[in-house]
Amino acid sequence: MIVMGMGGIYRGIVEDAITLVERVEADLWVVQKDTRGPFAEISRIPRDLEDRVLTVPGVESAHGFVSHTVQRKYKSKPLRLTIQGLSWPIDKGIWLPITAGRGLSQAHYELVADKSSRLQVGDKLALGKEIFTVKGLTKGMISQAGDPMAFITLDDAQAVQFDLSPESIRIERTARVNRLFNIELGQTQPQMSERASGLNSGIPALGTSMISAVLVGVKPGNNIEAVAEQIEAWPDVSVYTKDGQKQLLLKGSVDRARRQLGLFAVLLIIVSAVIMALIIYTLTLEKLHDIAMLKLIGARNSVILGLIMQQALLLGSIGSCIAYLLGQWIFPYFPRRVVLVRGDIYSLGIIVLVISILASLLGIWRAMRADPSEVLS
């Protein structure tokens, strides 16, 4: 069951990793130059890049993408959410697999969360300096890290991301004024200090909001690769296709998780094989007298071998069935999503059969050595 669970966790990690990339209708992902995109590492690009991308021939849509993880206390329990910013009003989250409530219908303070967050429609959640109301619930929208996703508008997502406490803001403004006087600009234009001590948005050079990526939709009939090449030619961005982004995800942290889980699974299979071999060996020892009797009355070695192998296969099959049924019951309570794929279950079944056969070899070896004369008094 543990091996089955590990395989399921790996499948879950893969599915979680690519869920968003699969769901978001984007042909291209434009990210910060020489970075691997918003999931593999930090990517910061100016939000007005959307407008630049829209000027490229063949581009149908371009909207910003913000993704970051928050952890808040909710109803006395820690709540982790991966916040995804939707480019309101272009993107209202219609593509989301909503199972309860609705998508976003206003520019601020509405939230659609995955039901694995245990939030309910109508729940209120404080993020940044605002209170957000849960308006809808999705199913299966889990981040690469296994956290439930929450969808709010891009502006809200940025506000949450860059939210600072009033004291932090005051300290930063004071520090900014001090920094200004340390450079030539502050000495030649002392009136700048008034602006430096004010709002970020009052200083255009500092106020440009940053996003993680721009999602690009290519017009039907246009070559996606050709559009990507044009954008890639810009010196400040890197471009990935949908498949490219998925490969980055799967070859990054998911790959490490896969290898780690694979290693554990192999170790567990070896341990299971040893345990099973010992069980079958012990069971064979218990039946050694009967085996000797069978040999005495003329049973062929193949009959005895068949009996032991039958026992091993039965043990393996029953164990697999119990593990599967138990898994179906327990896996939904696992902290990470466990996805059981039919192919994996069949493969595991074959592995169990092979283990059963290998494990029975020790028992068979002992049975073949049983002396029929042991039966005589």
Partner 1 sequence: MNQSNSNIALQAAGLTKIYGSGHTEVVAVRDVTIEVNRGEIVALLGPSGAGKTTLLTLLGLIRPPNMGRIAIEGTLVFDNHQAKVDLRRFRRQKLGFVFQKTNLIPFLTAAENVRLAMEIDDQPAKVSRKRAMELLEYLGVAARAHNLPSMLSGGEQQRVAVARALANRPSLILADEPTAALDSIRGRQVMELFAKVAHEQNAGVIVVTHDHRALDIFDRTLEMEDGQLRKSHN
CB of 293 to partner 1, least distance (A): 5
With tokens 């849960």, the residue in question is 134
CB of 302 to partner 1, least distance (A): 10
CA distances from 217 to 54, 60, 254, 261, 376 (A): 10, 5, 26, 36, 85
Please state the length of the chain: 377
Considering only residues 355-374, where is the footprint of partner 1 by CB under 8 A?
372-373
| Strand ranges for 221-373 from DSSP E | 237-241
| Whole-number Å distance between alpha carbons of 62 and 37 | 16
CB of 299 to partner 1, least distance (A): 4
**For partner 1, the closer CB: 229 or 286:** 286
- What 8-state DSSP symbol labels residue 90? T
Considering only residues 233-292, where is the footprint of partner 1 by CB under 8 A?
289-290
Part of the chain binding partner 1 (CB under 8 A), chosen from 159-167, 255-263, 297-305, 331-339 = 297-305
- What 8-state DSSP symbol labels residue 68? E
According to the binding rule CB under 8 A, does residue 294 interact with partner 1? Answer: yes
**For partner 1, the closer CB: 273 or 375:** 375
Residues in contact with 233: Cβ distance below 8 Å, sequence separation at least 6, in sequence order = none
| Whole-number Å distance between alpha carbons of 152 and 136 | 11
Considering only residues 178-207, where is the footprint of partner 1 by CB under 8 A?
none
**For partner 1, the closer CB: 205 or 376:** 376
According to the binding rule CB under 8 A, does residue 314 interact with partner 1? Answer: no
CB of 296 to partner 1, least distance (A): 6
In the list 303, 322, 326, 368, the residue contacting partner 1 (rule: CB under 8 A) is 303
Part of the chain binding partner 1 (CB under 8 A), chosen from 71-79, 84-92, 255-263, 294-302 = 294-302
- What 8-state DSSP symbol labels residue 93? S
Q: Rg of the chain over CA atoms, in angstroms?
A: 30
CB of 374 to partner 1, least distance (A): 10
In the list 40, 145, 293, 362, the residue contacting partner 1 (rule: CB under 8 A) is 293
According to the binding rule CB under 8 A, does residue 377 interact with partner 1? Answer: yes
Q: Which residues bind partner 1 (CB under 8 A)?
A: 289-290, 293-300, 303, 372-373, 375-377
